[in-house]
Amino acid sequence: MSERFRLFDLSQASIRTLHLTWIAFFVSFMVWFAHAPLMPFIREALQLTDQQTKVLLILNVAITIPARILVGMLVDRFGPRILYAGILILGGILSLLFALAQDYQQLALLRFLAGFVGAGFVVGIRMISEWFPARHTGVTQGIYGGWGNFGSAGAAGLLPIIAASLGGPNGWRYAVILTGILAIAYGALFYWRARNTPKGSTYFKPKQTGALEITSGFDLWLYILMNIPMYLVLGVLAWKLSPAAMGLLDATTTYTLYAVLIFAYLLQVWKIWQVNGHVLKEPVPSMQRYSFTQVAVLDLAYMVTFGTELAVVSMLPLFYVDMFGVDKVAAGLLAGSYAVINLVARPLGGLVSDKLGRKTTLTFVLIGIAASFLILSQVDKTWALPLVVLAATFGGIFSKAGSGAVYAMVPLIQRRLTGQIAGMAGAYGNVGGVVFLTALAMVSTQNFFLVIGTSAALVLAFIALWLREPTGHMTEIMPDGTVQLIEVS
């Protein structure tokens, strides 16, 4: 095959690693979202109320935000092979325990803990960055994210069929057990077949753990500031369970959670200072610096791109039903197409980034998101349904391609910190989902779309002003003290 038409010029080991890793992501997302499509079965079998059902959905995402930060630190320290295997096996065990739960309290605790599995995404970002050069980073990260992310759709399509075919009140339990067994088996397979790096390559690790290494005084203060939204969103989730909202926590418990979150943030600030306070007194050598501003802009970009995906896929079926009177089944199919787009759009966003540039691609997709959702904000019942579906589809294409474009750039900032940078960006994706869904609960659907479009336009300005195209090389220090330059363009 000619070079012009060759997508990859890589070894079989690299391609095998790509497939091993996206399948691991697929399985982890099946475990993470297994309960959602089975909720009608679970609700009927255990006689849950609507409020209890909603709480299970909230608890499933609560721990994922801090977990992605923690997993980012762990993968940079210990490597993706053991960490992904461990997450899959742990997720499988949690699935088995969830399937055996006999009351609501057990269900709630296990769904909360299972949110940790959603952090597995971060591990694969570091793995792919080790196995593929900069010129292929975008498309390979896009394939990893796009195909692996389809695990949630796989759960939605397969698990209800399994539960219904097995029949009886325990059908959902058998479906979850099968998911758990699959996760444990694939975790063992991944540990057996995967390797952290190609043979002969060095796995660079951060000098210290507990916080992201920062290389300038300005970046230190910006890093502290960028941690605030993640704790605020966890506070919002606590508020949703409080007497002021759903009323499933009493006031004392709610205020205790608020206090814990404040303490956790202050503890994080102390750790950040402990790891990085020296930069205010002893400047980091210029060749070892990187710009945390790039990380901050990518965090905000992922908040809009992936956050939009999380929020919109949750509300589209009801939007089509309530606004246009579409049949529930047809509305589900129309909304389901939004998830299928991810198989192509996210790799495409990465591929275009590889070919045309990271900043150029992000600029283009943010323009597309802003335009699509500003158009949707003007929709009313007089609009033709095909036109609305077309606008929503374009919004989905741009948001998913944007997610691919973000992670085309994340591994090119600082190799030894890739896990932590990926974890922070991933956490901001969840932040965006919570923020947009909270906005949906407070405003009209049209204003919900307006919030997304306006947010995209604001982040677009940040990209134009502060994001820089990766060029040249990043510097890493070898174990023997010598300097290695890693190509980023």
CATH number at residue 113: 1.20.1250.20
Are residues 294 and 263 part of one domain?
no
Are residues 260 and 166 part of one domain?
no
Would residue 417 count as lying in a domain? yes
Are residues 118 and 162 part of one domain?
yes
Averages of pLDDT over each 10 residues, the chain, 489 residues: 46 91 95 84 85 79 89 94 97 94 88 90 94 89 91 82 83 92 97 92 84 93 96 91 82 94 96 93 84 96 93 82 80 72 90 93 97 94 91 93 95 91 95 90 91 97 94 65 64
Domain that holds residue 431: 286-489
**CA-based nearest residue to 448, from 440, 457, 459:** 440
Are residues 375 and 272 part of one domain?
no
Would residue 208 count as lying in a domain? no
Would residue 201 count as lying in a domain? no
Q: Which of 262, 283, 304 is the last residue of a domain?
A: 283
pTM assigned to the model: 0.90
Are residues 106 and 36 part of one domain?
yes
Q: What's the CA gap between 289 and 292, in Å, rounded?
A: 9
Structure-block tokens of residue 420? 């932590």
Residue 1, pLDDT score: 38
Q: Long-range contacts made by residues 440-447, C-beta under 8 angstroms, separation at least 24? A: 440/311, 440/315, 445/315, 445/319, 445/322, 445/323, 446/376, 446/377, 446/378, 446/379, 446/380, 447/377
**CA-based nearest residue to 448, from 302, 296, 323, 333:** 323
Q: Which of 258, 283, 308 is the last residue of a domain?
A: 283
Three-class SS string for the chain?
A: CCHHHCCCCCCHHHHHHHHHHHHHHHHHHHHHCCHHHHHHHHHHHHCCCHHHHHHHHHHHHHCHHHHHHHHHHHHHHHCHHHHHHHHHHHHHHHHHHHHCCCCHHHHHHHHHHHHHHHHHHHHHHHHHHHHCCHHHHHHHHHHHHHHHHCHHHHHHHHHHHHHHHHCCCCHHHHHHHHHHHHHHHHHHHHHHHCCCCCCCCCCCCCCCCCCCCCCCHHHHHHHHHHCHHHHHHHHHHHHHCCCCCCCCCCHHHHHHHHHHHHHHHHHHHHHHHHHHHHHHCCCCCHHHCCCHHHHHHHHHHHHHHHHHHHHHHHHHHHHHHHHHCCCHHHHHHHHHHHHHCHHHHHHHHHHHHHHHCHHHHHHHHHHHHHHHHHHHCCCCCCCCHHHHHHHHHHHHHHHHHHHHHHHHHHHHCCHHHHHHHHHHHHHHHHHHHHHHHHHHHHCCHHHHHHHHHHHHHHHHHHHHHHCCCCCCEEEEECCCCCEEEEECC
Would residue 210 count as lying in a domain? no
Are residues 374 and 276 part of one domain?
no
Are residues 292 and 439 part of one domain?
yes
The number of domains in the chain is 3
Would residue 57 count as lying in a domain? yes
Are residues 106 and 225 part of one domain?
no
Are residues 418 and 315 part of one domain?
yes
**Displacement of CA 289 from its chain's centroid (Å):** 27
Q: What's the CA gap between 358 and 235, in Å, rounded?
A: 34
Are residues 84 and 186 part of one domain?
yes
Are residues 461 and 318 part of one domain?
yes
Would residue 176 count as lying in a domain? yes
N-to-C CA span, the chain? 24
Would residue 298 count as lying in a domain? yes
Q: Are strands 473-477 and 483-487 parallel, antiparallel or unpaired?
A: antiparallel
Are residues 100 and 150 part of one domain?
yes
pLDDT digits (tens, 9 = 90+) for 221-269: 999 999 999 999 999 989 988 888 877 788 999 999 999 999 999 999 9
Would residue 228 count as lying in a domain? yes
Q: Which of 266, 283, 300 is the last residue of a domain?
A: 283
Residue 173, pLDDT score: 92
Q: What's the CA gap between 151 and 142, in Å, rounded?
A: 15
